[in-house]
A and B are shown apart, each in its own frame.
Chain A
Amino acid sequence: MRDATLVEAINAALARAMQEDERVLVLGEDVGKDGGVFRATDGLLARFGPARVFDTPVAEAAIAGMSVGLAAQGFCPVAEIQFMGFAYAAIDQLLNHAARLRTRTRGRLSCPMVLRTPCGAGVHAPEHHSESGEACFTNIPGLRVVVPSSPRRGYGLLLAAIRDSDPVVFLEPTRLYRAVREPVADDGTSLPLDRCITLREGGDVTLVGWGGVVPEMLAAAERLAAEGTQADVIDVATLVPLDAETILASVAGTGRCVICHEAPLTGGFGAEIAARLAGPGLFSLLAPVERVTGWDTIVPLSRLERHYLPGVERILAAARRSLRHG
């Protein structure tokens, strides 16, 4: 057990996975010699050698496609894309091949690859370096989409993603990479890839979200507690397949739900959760579902970034609106 940041926990999970299974390969731009833009793959080349950890040219489409080929041969490639804005070139291969290999071969082949990429704002750079494009992946059947929001969850979820026999898109919130340290046991224990994680139980209002906004939801829950309101806080963690039961069970108790994410509102994955609440959850609701999200615009440069990001104040305001009903 040692204290680790999210990026260190990711690094530990990669090393653990490579240690226990030699089919695990790490590839991507500058992942070897330089140890990755954010140092997520630091030390892996020295430890596991150039046959298993290799730098690729700048070629996202081929990185993704090659990973599918390797996976079809039973390897477990873990490809890094430097920023989410560069993963769009890889989507063709993910959608048309990775996600469909199992179906097309009627289960004779599978695609146990992981595509890791930092996501969300936090480096004060606009656009490509700050994207929250998870909804582009969640609408692709055959892919798992996972977003950790703490060092421990980063470790456990990434191990699970690598061990999983299906393709996983693993989105690492850039602004959480070094935000906190917490004890992480590097004991090879993974977390389930089909469960939301309840971080706090309160009973008055449900705050549900993923990635960079999770610490904001926790901070909002603290503030609400000081006002006498107890919040359930749920980290969705695995968006696909969605553990709707955990969310519905919470809302069955609270009757109120605030969905939080950094991605734009329209067509964001929060809409899927809202739809589940409007379906099976409808008769639990005491107040309209609230969504606190990024705006329907392009992530701007740093000086406007703070106006873009959904933070504690907006979450609090939404929770209070919700609590005024019924």
Chain B
Amino acid sequence: MAHAAEAGKRGRTRTGVSKAGGFSSDELLRAYREMLLIRRFEEKAGQLYGMGLIGGFCHLYIGQEAVVVGLQMALKEGDQVITSYRDHGHMLVTGMAPRGVMAELTGRAGGYSRGKGGSMHMFSKERNFFGGHGIVGAQASLGTGLAFSNRYRGNDNVCLTYFGEGASNQGQVYESFNLAALMKLPVVYVIENNRYGMGTSVERASASQDLSKNGAPWGIPGAQVDGMDVEAVKLAGEVAVAHCRAGNGPFLLEMKTYRYRGHSMSDPAKYRTREEVQKMRTERDCIDTVHARLTELGVTEPEIKQIDDAVKQIVQDAAEFAQTSPEPDPAELWTDVLVEG
């Protein structure tokens, strides 16, 4: 829908404070801090993986931070979030504890799933985070169900349902679109288009390249948004969320973003050039952009460094916790399969 895209553009003001929907310096500082937390957290996770402390799969979110940070800024208490296995950033912005997330990555008892779920499978009922899902595309219909509960209860909460552009080719995504449009469910479908689904580029996987139109047959309004620009993301998110809260049914946001790292930790990286990655990092990085904006607004380097240091501290603490928290008891194998007693 045109107005979300326009709102996104308006958000990209380069000067002044809080102009025409642009961020105030407080908002910018918040966005900077949250994006940086995800970046540093993920870098640390990558290191721990390299040290053999994280088993199996670990999908890093580096490069895409502006998407979850901007969208979370458009939410209110009680709104739900659900996503795929590339979920660390989503969890951190909903307010889940970095310690608990990192300890789950290392499979320790102090992790959100007590060391049984790992990187892909964490939940927080308190923070309204409904996973972490390893089945590509499955969360689209799960999120539709979460949204249904909001409508049924008569509240104005919204469910943010994230999935990748690769996932957007799964059949149940379209079954969900139809259902949500038919029943006017308050769900914002967020396609995080980072251009690749494992080794397959979006051009090689999707017949249509404007994924924001994927809900058009059901009349679902959509917008393509610069997902590297946290201000544009937040503004588009506000439009989408307002649409849902007002009872108008679902909204679709296509976030044009990019992942810097491999799909998971072992990635043949044959599908794109190093130059392509480098170009995005140097020209479009979401954190660098906000850093530059802060400087423009007169925020000093020492002030920024204070944030950097605080973030570093949080991540260091999480990493230490994740290495010292005990391993799960073997008896945990049998817990929580069916209700006990």
Interface of A is mostly: loop
- B205 near A304: Cβ-Cβ < 8 Å: no
- A307 near B333: Cβ-Cβ < 8 Å: yes
The answer to whether the Cβ of A136 comes within 8 Å of any Cβ in the partner chain is no
- B57 near A33: Cβ-Cβ < 8 Å: no
Q: Which of A33, A123, A127 is within 8 Å of B271, CB to CB?
A: A33
Complex contacts, A85 vs chain B, CB 8 Å: 134-135
The answer to whether the Cβ of B21 comes within 8 Å of any Cβ in the partner chain is no
- A301 near B115: Cβ-Cβ < 8 Å: yes
Chain B interface residue number, banded? 35 or more
The answer to whether the Cβ of B170 comes within 8 Å of any Cβ in the partner chain is yes
Closest to A126 in B: B118
Q: For residues 127 through 146 of chain B, which have their beta carbon under 8 Å from a beta carbon of chain A?
A: 134-137
- A304 near B328: Cβ-Cβ < 8 Å: yes
Q: Which of B107, B135, B171, B268 is within 8 Å of A62, CB to CB?
A: B171
- A126 near B121: Cβ-Cβ < 8 Å: yes
- A57 near B199: Cβ-Cβ < 8 Å: no
Number of interface residues of A (CB under 8 A): 32
- B55 near A30: Cβ-Cβ < 8 Å: no
Q: For residues 90 through 126 of chain B, which have their beta carbon under 8 Å from a beta carbon of chain A?
A: 107-108, 115-118, 120-121
- B199 near A33: Cβ-Cβ < 8 Å: yes
Q: For residues 50 through 91 of chain B, which have their beta carbon under 8 Å from a beta carbon of chain A?
A: 55-57
Interface of B is mostly: loop
User: In the complex, A300→B167 CA distance in Å?
Assistant: 25
The answer to whether the Cβ of A303 comes within 8 Å of any Cβ in the partner chain is yes
- B332 near A300: Cβ-Cβ < 8 Å: yes
- B170 near A127: Cβ-Cβ < 8 Å: no
Closest to A55 in B: B200
Distance in angstroms from B101 CB to nearest chain A CB is 14
Complex contacts, A37 vs chain B, CB 8 Å: 198
Closest to B137 in A: A58
Distance in angstroms from B271 CB to nearest chain A CB is 7
Q: For residues 26 through 70 of chain A, which have their beta carbon under 8 Å from a beta carbon of chain B?
A: 29-30, 33-34, 37, 55, 57-59, 61-62
Q: For residues 167 through 226 of chain A, which have their beta carbon under 8 Å from a beta carbon of chain B?
A: none
Q: For residues 274 through 326 of chain A, which have their beta carbon under 8 Å from a beta carbon of chain B?
A: 295-298, 300-304, 307-308
Q: For residues 69 through 111 of chain A, which have their beta carbon under 8 Å from a beta carbon of chain B?
A: 85-86, 89
Q: Which of A61, A89, A297 is within 8 Å of B334, CB to CB?
A: A297
Q: Which of B56, B121, B199, B332 is within 8 Å of A123, CB to CB?
A: B56
Binding site for A on B (CB under 8 A): 55-57, 107-108, 115-118, 120-121, 134-137, 166-167, 169-171, 197-200, 204-206, 268, 270-271, 327-328, 330, 332-334, 337
Query: Top 8 closest A-B pairs, CB basis?
Result: A125-B56, A302-B55, A124-B55, A57-B169, A34-B199, A301-B118, A124-B56, A303-B107
Instruction: Provide a sorted-by-A list of 13 A–B residue pairs whose CB atoms are within 8 angstroms.
Output: A33-B200, A55-B204, A57-B197, A61-B171, A62-B171, A123-B57, A126-B56, A126-B121, A301-B56, A302-B55, A302-B118, A304-B116, A304-B333
